[in-house]
Amino acid sequence: MKVERGGISVLEIPLFSLNEGETLAILGPNGAGKTTFLLTLARLLGYIQGKLLFKGEDISLPERTVPYRRRLAMVFQEPLLWLVQACSLNHLLMFWFNLQD
């Protein structure tokens, strides 16, 4: 998976796999890409290269993203108010209506 912001690569993970029943802790210093990684896994940030598979299905397709998000929970140390402030109203509405499907 490769994520870019402003044309600059901010995250490159050649391979990541988490099997059912496994627990994952993501640790690292500030700026290491932990939040970017998790937001990308949640499909809240786009990626330019790679595939995201959940139970063998490509979740990059819109019809598969919503069911995937319904099975996902993320708890951050700090509230994601910065994310809400960074998104336009249009993006927030699109996100909300996608969750309602």
- For residue 95, is pLDDT > 70? no
How many whole angstroms separate alpha carbon 69 and alpha carbon 37?
Answer: 15
Of the candidates 21, 16, 52, which has an alpha carbon nearest to the alpha carbon of residue 34? 16
What was the pLDDT predicted at 16? 86
pLDDT, greater one: 98 or 15: 15
Tokens read off for 79: 């509230």
What was the pLDDT predicted at 12? 92
